[in-house]
Chain A
Amino acid sequence: MAKQVFTNASVTVNGVDFSDHIAAVTIDQSADEIETTAFGTAGWRSRVTGLKDGSVQLDWHQDFSSSVDATLSTAFGSVGTVVVLPNGSSVSATNPKWTCPVVISGYSPVAGSVGDLLTFSTTWAAAGAFARATA
């Protein structure tokens, strides 16, 4: 598969598969830009990368009868692990796995308007290095 329609992502949190309760996933990675401009850089600014950072954003469908609320309520306030694969759970060179240690610092168990599907979003900052694996 080359370009793909994004429908089959695999998302686990602390080892629990929540793929069918998640509507969107975003892994953000960034690095600080440290300026090193000095005389002799030919009139251009010069930069190097500094500390790296990351976050994982998930859009959830709440479900009090499955393990969504139970897992997140237990994990709230601790460091957890989010594992994301873009197309199913089989790791390969064309379906890499990102393992993301995060701080589960926010959880809104109820966030909705009358008549809407009960959903919520989480954004959890990195608690360490994000790892990419292909096997």
Chain B
Amino acid sequence: MSIALIRKGLGDNLSTIRGLRVAETIPDQVNPPVAVISLQTVSYDGAFQGGLTTYSFMVTVIVGRISERTAQRTLDAYISPGVGSIKTAIESERSLGGSAFDCRVDGMSNVGSVTIGDITYLAADFTVTVYGN
């Protein structure tokens, strides 16, 4: 199991949300709405003989903020559990194309404005735990 394949699996699952772009690596420029996948932490030796490694990923969803109300509604749809949400999309195929044992979207935090290249966007961070080896 490789980190690159886990990223791809997360990206493939996120791509099931219509209209959402996916960046499997941190981009220099954003073209919203976009989900940016970044690796946060890795915890080794969860079982003997390399049997379990736990990866924590952050999926940052960035939406345009030309209209505040529209931006908030778009983000709300990604956050609310159900069809079209980040949680449902990522957990739609929990082995991530065979690259992991299992995965789970643990939670969402940090809803707020972010400024990238002098443009202000609305963003939210989703924490994803992936179990592999």
Report which A residues bind B (CB closer than 8 A): 7-11, 19-23, 25, 61, 88, 115, 117
Listed residue (B48, B49, B133) with the most chain A CB atoms within 10 angstroms of its CB: B48
B49 proximity list for chain A (CB < 8 A): 7-10, 19-20, 88
Contact between chains at B51 and A20 (CB < 8 Å): yes
B48: A residues at CB distance < 8 A: 7-11, 19-20, 22-23, 25
Smallest CB separation, A114 vs chain B (Å): 10
Query: 17 A–B contact pairs at CB < 8 A?
Result: A7-B45, A7-B50, A10-B48, A10-B49, A19-B47, A19-B48, A19-B51, A20-B47, A20-B51, A20-B52, A21-B51, A23-B52, A25-B48, A61-B46, A61-B52, A115-B106, A117-B131
Residues of A within 8 A of B51 (CB): 19-22, 61
- CA of A57 to CA of B133 in the docked complex: distance in angstroms? 24
The A interface is mostly helix, strand or loop, or mixed, namely mixed
Beta-carbon contact of B47 and A21 below 8 Å: yes
B106-A61 in contact (CB<8A): no
Number of interface residues of B (CB under 8 A): 12
Q: A20, A22, A115: which has the most chain B beta carbons within 10 Å? A: A20
* B65 part of interface (Cβ distance < 8 Å): no
**How far does the alpha carbon of A61 sit from the alpha carbon of B101 in the complex, in Å?**
11
Q: Out of B46, B50, B104, B131, which one reaches A23, CB within 8 Å?
A: B46
> Whole-angstrom distance between the alpha carbons of A131 and B118 in the complex?
71
Q: Which residues of A contact B104 (CB under 8 A)?
A: 115
Closest 8 CB pairs of A and B: A20-B51, A19-B49, A19-B48, A9-B48, A7-B45, A20-B49, A23-B47, A20-B47
Contact with A along B109-133 (1 / 0, CB 8 A): 0000000000000000000000101
Q: Min CB distance, B102 to chain A, in Å?
A: 8
Complex Cα gap A38–B83 (Å): 79
Q: Verify B47–A22 contact, CB threshold 8 A.
A: yes
- CA A117 – CA B131 in complex, angstroms? 9
Q: Which residues between 9 and 51 of chain B lie within 8 Å of chain A, taking CB atoms?
A: 45-51
Closest CB-CB distance, A90 to chain B, in whole Å? 13
Given A61-B47, A61-B51, A115-B104, 20 extra CB contacts under 8 A: A7-B45, A7-B48, A7-B49, A7-B50, A9-B49, A10-B49, A11-B48, A20-B47, A20-B49, A20-B50, A20-B52, A20-B133, A21-B47, A22-B48, A22-B51, A23-B47, A23-B48, A23-B52, A61-B46, A115-B106
